């Protein structure tokens, strides 16, 4: 072990001859080089932590007070070594605590998972020419007046039942008003059209709605389908949510 020698080098207590000898030994002694690099990394970790720096200040004050009281000669490398040992212990404890925290399985409720992954910001915009009724419906939607928006979307679909864009927005409006069974019906109608542009998006929202409606097994089936589609926009999110669902059981 070369800890005392490294401490004296880092604390600036070596004369130039000792420094030159130490630098040469670093090039020849792999064990010394390894310990030196570890010391440098530890110092970097300590320097980036304000609480540890305050801890060092307190230790130094106690050390200096003891030295004055007992008439000790203050040797900087000794203080440096004791301080680094104490700080290293704190760092190790913090690292172990973090590892323990990550290792503890966390239970995510269906509602929690839904809130983590439900996001309408990427919802596609209306691409058809907009008449007054459609503009009014979208205005209600944008103002988060979802009950009225859903009724207007429904009126549009009565005249144009193949308007998948509006059906998609209607499904989202039902989610926002907690009419999950109705939302599921709308998304299922879209996903039955396998080649439609909106199938991928509707399938993801269908899985989330199943989850929010506590139909967990149905949700898992949907997320697995998405995971098996290499080009699916939601594939990475499906992997994440699927893993959380499986690991909580």
pLDDT tens, 68-112? 555 444 444 444 555 555 555 555 555 555 554 444 455 778 999
C-alpha span between 169 and 147 (Å, rounded): 12
Overall pTM > 0.95: no
> For the chain, what are the domain ranges?
3-103, 110-247
Distances in Å between the Cα of 117 and the Cα atoms of 13, 76, 176, 233 are 57, 54, 14, 13
Tokens (6 digits) for 207? 């899985």
Cβ atoms of 232 and 226 closer than 8 Å: yes
Residue predicted with more confidence, 45 or 214: 214
Tokens (6 digits) for 181? 């069974």
Residue positions counted in the chain: 249
Model pLDDT, residue 206: 97
| CA 172 from centre of chain | 26
| CA 168 from centre of chain | 29
- pLDDT single digits (tens) 121-134: 766 555 444 578 88
Helix (H) or strand (E) holding 62: helix 50-70
Considering the domain 110-247 in this protein, what is its CATH number? 1.25.40.10
Residue predicted with more confidence, 179 or 62: 179
Q: Flag whether pLDDT at 157 surpasses 80.
A: yes
Percentage of the residues of the chain whose pLDDT score is greater than 70: 64
DSSP 196: S
């Amino acid at each position: 072990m070369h800890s005392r020698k490294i401490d004296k080098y880092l604390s600036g207590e070596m004369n130039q001859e000792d420094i030159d000898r130490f630098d040469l030994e670093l090039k020849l002694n792999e064990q010394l080089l390894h310990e030196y690099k570890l010391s440098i990394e530890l110092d970097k970790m300590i320097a980036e932590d304000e609480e540890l720096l305050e801890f060092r200040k307190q230790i130094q004050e106690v050390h200096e007070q003891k030295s004055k009281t007992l008439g000790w000669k203050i040797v900087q490398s000794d203080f440096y070594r004791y301080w680094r040992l104490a700080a290293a212990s704190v760092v190790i404890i913090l690292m172990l605590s973090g590892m323990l925290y990550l290792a503890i399985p966390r239970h995510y409720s269906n509602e929690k998972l839904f809130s983590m992954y439900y996001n309408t910001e990427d919802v596609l915009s209306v691409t058809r020419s907009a008449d007054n009724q459609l503009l009014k419906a979208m205005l209600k939607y944008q103002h988060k007046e979802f009950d009225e928006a859903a009724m207007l979307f429904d009126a549009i679909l009565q005249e144009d039942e193949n308007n998948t864009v509006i059906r998609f927005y209607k499904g989202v409006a039902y989610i926002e008003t907690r009419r999950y069974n109705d939302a599921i019906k709308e998304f299922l109608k879209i996903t039955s059209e396998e080649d439609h542009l909106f199938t991928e998006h509707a399938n993801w929202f269908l899985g989330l709605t199943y989850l929010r409606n506590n139909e967990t097994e149905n949700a898992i089936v949907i997320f697995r389908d998405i995971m098996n589609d290499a080009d699916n926009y939601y594939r990475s999110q499906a992997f994440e949510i699927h893993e959380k669902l499986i690991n909580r059981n």
